[in-house]
Structure 1
Amino acid sequence: MRASSVTVALLAAVVLAPSAQAQSEIATVTEAAPAQPNALPLPAPDTPDREIWHRSAGLLAVRNVSHPTLTVFRPTGKPNGAAVIVAPGGAFLGLEMDKEGWEVARRLAAHGVTAFVLKYRTLPTPADQKIFVAELGKMITGQKAAFAPPSDTPPEALADGIAALRFVRQHAEDYAVDPHRLGFMGFSAGGFLTRSVVEKGGTDRPDFAAPIYPNMASMQVPADAPPMFVAIATDDFLLNREKGLPLVDAYRAAGRPLEFHLFADGGHGFGAGKAGTATAHWLDQFFLWLDVMGLTKSAK
């Protein structure tokens, strides 16, 4: 099946490397899985571990995830009782664990927030790394390829997101966090997942949400939807998929709390902030929002 131009752009910009040189920035050799001493397994079917780790623009990324986990980053700053689940992006074909997971979690922990990086299940891609990179090249150039990113959150990823929320709340006392101040932050495909846990999470939905450069299409906003923080750059291709700002409009129409940042530049995939662009300090705006919303104040 030939991918549409939008799908090709999505893959080129989101799968394991945010730049236009995505294919060349993905290593053709694999690496051993890094030590993950704080990784906690989440419920999932008993299937073989097929993870493949490699470098993406010099940073660690993983694909073919079949065993979801949460990696805990305890506060290095003064603990404030809040917790955030962090979901990296990668078009649901892989995960930018370093750039959009661990780096962000360390920034949260330095602000006193307990962070949990979610390694959620991804769609299958070829086991051979060289074949994967070659097929990626086909996708980028609009040729028929062995895989394509989905249009929205796959059920396995959604299940992992909900399982993560349940785990943290059930073990809130163990991590000294308030189960009623649990947020969910996701980047790109992780932003799609963030929207999905708000829209479909029911009683498990987070207490606040932060989809970062997510799907900007409209969504079904629950009547009790949590406060949401959205950030995206004006030169992000995802904005071109919609007319206007349907996600923002839907949240406002539902009368739910929303903070929206449209940065002057930064492109897609700015992670914890891209130096030299308006996104460089966006996390400071997020921390201010948490404080104003009363989400990082010590529980009484």
Structure 2
Amino acid sequence: MMRRSASALALAALALCGTPARAQPAVSRETIAAPLQPGAIDLPVAKGTPQREVWHLDGTQVAVRNVTRPTLTPVLPVGRGTGAAMIVAPGGGFLGLAIEKEGWDVARWLAGHGIAAFVLKYRVLPTPADQAVFAGEMASVVRGGKASFAPPADTPDPALEDARAALALLHQRAAQFAIDPDRIGMMGFSAGGMLTRSLATRPAGYMPAFIAPIYPMMNAVPVPANAPPMFVALASDDPLFGKSPFGLVDSWRAAGKPVEFHYYTTGGHGFGLGKPGTPSEGWMDQLYRWLSSSGFLTGEK
């Protein structure tokens, strides 16, 4: 059990940085100021919840951890959009969020293709407040050492509450954002993909119209009768989930629900918008074509 836990934490450390250990950029030992997040909407939390966010760089890209106050940040099309909307959930092992690579960058791509995007900064598990301590523990884990934190076995309740709140908010404010409430979907990366999957399999209130878990945990799940169509992308050389059985996809198929699955030969874990020079490079275009052919960009489903 201890050996399996150590392995899971090492994989979570790689997920947080989104690259293999041999090429992993160092987690900065310095913090940065919280960047501007124009239009960010606060999601519900208990009154008096302290702000504990720690912003830093993973390699050259912005990340955040110790999120205690969730937000939803709109990134909207310029001019008339398709009316479709996508909640975007970054990954990071529920220990932090790769919010630039798997959030803002993805949202800008979607908005540029007429899809209103909303980046979900959801609550994550606590890690050391001191950035140098956190960076040191992350480096230790990648080398096989220990850390004072560990990834969860399943989606934490606060993160799922944030996803549900984000979906409800978009339904309630659909007219404000010029989106069709029947065409609001969710996509997520790694842990964000796990969160996306949980939103569709543990519904409470609104159900997303479609989901796209990207390099998610692939274990089988119970599929509700009203489960939405699903798009999945994964690389076979992903060190976390690439060699796993395709239980998630098989669950959708067994339930008779629409599913599109792209299993790339290379791309690793954390390929974001696509790793240049690998088959994963064009996966966003494939997602767009799937959305279009499924009627989600026109409302003619």
Alpha-carbon separation, structure 1, partners of 2:206 and 2:299: 22
- For 1:252, the aligned partner's letter is R
Where 1:183 maps in the other structure, the secondary structure is: strand
- For 1:208, the aligned partner's letter is F
Alpha-carbon separation, structure 2, partners of 1:83 and 1:153: 23
1:11 alignment counterpart: 12
**C-alpha spacing 1:77/1:275, structure 2 compared with 1 (3 Å):** farther
Taking only aligned residues, the RMSD between alpha carbons, in angstroms, comes to: 1.8
Where 1:96 maps in the other structure, the secondary structure is: coil
Please tell me whether residue 68 in structure 1 is matched to residue 70 in structure 2: yes
The answer on whether the counterparts of 1:188 and 1:214 sit within 8 Å (CA) in structure 2 is yes
More displaced stretch, 69-78 vs 92-101: 69-78
Point out where structure 1 has 5 or more consecutive residues left out of the alignment: none
1:141 alignment counterpart: 143
- For 1:106, the aligned partner's letter is R
Shift of 1:122: 0.7
**C-alpha spacing 1:214/1:282, structure 2 compared with 1 (3 Å):** same
1:262 alignment counterpart: 263
Match runs of 1:17-166 below 5 Å: 17-21=18-22, 24-45=25-46, 46-76=48-78, 78-166=80-168
Shift of 1:2: 4.6
**C-alpha spacing 1:248/1:77, structure 2 compared with 1 (3 Å):** farther
The answer on whether the counterparts of 1:3 and 1:142 sit within 8 Å (CA) in structure 2 is no
2:251 alignment counterpart: 250
Where 2:109 maps in the other structure, the secondary structure is: helix
Q: How many matched pairs?
A: 299
**C-alpha spacing 1:270/1:240, structure 2 compared with 1 (3 Å):** closer
More displaced stretch, 195-204 vs 14-23: 14-23
- For 2:141, the aligned partner's letter is M
Point out where structure 2 has 5 or more consecutive residues left out of the alignment: none
- For 1:41, the aligned partner's letter is D
2:186 alignment counterpart: 184
**C-alpha spacing 1:93/1:22, structure 2 compared with 1 (3 Å):** farther
1:219 alignment counterpart: 221
Shift of 1:152: 1.6
The answer on whether the counterparts of 1:191 and 1:214 sit within 8 Å (CA) in structure 2 is yes
Alpha-carbon separation, structure 2, partners of 1:23 and 1:48: 32
Shift of 1:216: 0.3
**C-alpha spacing 1:240/1:213, structure 2 compared with 1 (3 Å):** closer
Alpha-carbon separation, structure 2, partners of 1:28 and 1:22: 18
Alpha-carbon separation, structure 1, partners of 2:207 and 2:122: 17
Shift of 1:201: 1.8
Shift of 1:87: 0.1
**C-alpha spacing 1:167/1:291, structure 2 compared with 1 (3 Å):** same
Q: 1:237 aligns with which of 227, 235, 239?
A: 239
- For 2:111, the aligned partner's letter is A
Spell out, residue by residue over 1:144-198, the C-alpha distance to the aligned partner (whole angstroms, 9 max, x if none).
Answer: 3200111221001000010000011100000000001000000000000001000
Alpha-carbon separation, structure 2, partners of 1:41 and 1:16: 26
Shift of 1:259: 0.4
Which aligned runs of 4 or more in structure 1 are off by greater than 4 angstroms? 21-24
Shift of 1:81: 0.3
The answer on whether the counterparts of 2:17 and 2:25 sit within 8 Å (CA) in structure 1 is no
The answer on whether the counterparts of 2:18 and 2:269 sit within 8 Å (CA) in structure 1 is no
The answer on whether the counterparts of 1:81 and 1:177 sit within 8 Å (CA) in structure 2 is yes
The answer on whether the counterparts of 1:12 and 1:18 sit within 8 Å (CA) in structure 2 is no
Shift of 1:124: 0.4
